[in-house]
Structure 1
């Protein structure tokens, strides 16, 4: 066991260090965090607009008026979430380089809009919201990275306008960014024109067909999801924030799948995907935090005999209800503790498989694309994530029992060791 742990440590720690220090993955992660408040705002109003049985309680005209009144909340946030992510990525990446961060966001969004087709069903001068949401997400991310690098390249060559002393700072900064932004946007305009001469016509169609569709298909599969879940748990085991590390790679895929489900849910169509961002956040993380440690807290309160375990259960219980599990991760401890390695890795994998097949067989509706705040307690979390379906909450309860069953013998051994150590110290 010790040899196995040593091999894992030698492989995972250098990998995690590289991922944590990668400027693009960091900007990607932080860019999504910039967009998160507006995404959650839109999700809340999707839930309110689709309360269960509301269409039965109201007349058809009243129900349509009600949904129409609340519709702009999601249309102005979730439907165009790509725009917020692009601004966030551009801002954070240029901030990493020590540049004037706001211009990173500006050049990223302007470059993306230049590449975006401005025609809908032969009507020109309008932008299809699909290009600003899930379908345009990958292009937006790539555009943000490339545009900031180009902008930085021109700035580093000192191709800027120098204003005389005495000019207000705001004016001076604006003029100093003029040439780098102009050159960067010109590059993207040339790219747009070049693609208009190809069979793809637009960069969006090229990216979606060649890159996004295959990656989305891969990320929506059970096998790739299990790999991601195992990596999350392994990184955490070695004291690294596995959720942040792995999400920085998988979030673009999971958010795209999530948005496609949301569009289908709002249109009353069958949901196309099981694996989405909310699949991970509600049915794994939303059960006490990474590793679903709310089950561990409950077990401690049931079978714990040692004082250490009992006190840990009292401390970890209240935050665990709201999916904050640092007291358990560092207090049990889980980090570098061989006694809990097996349940820590195994339980999330089993729950992922059970959840996937429960949804694939139709027992439970897939996540509806609604972003549920991560602190939402279990059962309510699953209910909201599946579009107000009681089966979502019931599945979370079943998953909780599964995790408890897997952890039971290991936690029993750990508690026994603590109990015997406490008794020996008292003698």
Structure 2
């Protein structure tokens, strides 16, 4: 137990030192670049706190978190600083959770290595310095897996109820997590009747209540029940429009092609209907180009480095800066390629083999799900793949331990 706590403090110290090192080398405190999505999150938070309006793209929970300084009359600058503080807390917490989860399957040494590997995932740290939801989402996701791992270890149904409650809550941070709830319920379908007979059921009901608030508010303001219209917008403007451009042999320009411009002028309900109808038409009449567009997006998301590194500027005119940017971009690109393909291979291996622990099968399913969903969009470097990085690291450690055990057993025989 003492070694366990000691290693946690050591990991925290290494993470803190690494964070300070990057802040100094990359002049993070002097950076002023703001992503378009960051502006969107700021606007959504201002709508919620200053006008009492739910944003059409950003669910209210992430806006509630990001916009907290606005409750006390804070400025936009205060919101950005608050977001960085929250993101860094989530990043540090994720480091420790990766270590704790790995410790459940291996020894102190391998668990410590797992924590170190996540610390040095470049993009996960760089994106923490922007007003984006990735750091919060990764933390909540790894927390959910920690809870489900506790269920496997103790067989206490309350942990499973809390996992589902957290996943439901995550829908109000990133709507993409909604399908994870369905997948988990299908996996534990025999346990569903037990989920509502423990204290964790109260948390599930609270999450459902918050989702209901989001749905009814969206219906009142925009005309239809929806968590967010961001998925509709993303599909039509990135995947569908790109497939149409391939069909007509014209250049894809993000958000600027004629059909995208027309789509963006529609009402939210009309956009939802148009996207659904378009998807059916694409499947019937433009299926090959739809697949091509999807593959192009997957290639882009898998082979690019960190855009959070790329936008850094040499504010202090340091001689080493260009090399530092090149190095971290190259490293993030290499990490993205290696972890993505390793994740795909290990996930398929875990799902196809029978003698694999249930937790690794869930990890594998989550990795494949996020990789598959990320290809709907593009032009964000490795941003959509950093969600899977801690999961792939855990799979590497877990399956590495299993391989050693099988090799040892074979030699003994």
Could you state the TM-score of these two structures normalised by the residue count of structure 2?
0.29
TM-score, normalized by length of structure 1? 0.28
Higher relative contact order (CA 8 A, sep 6+): 2
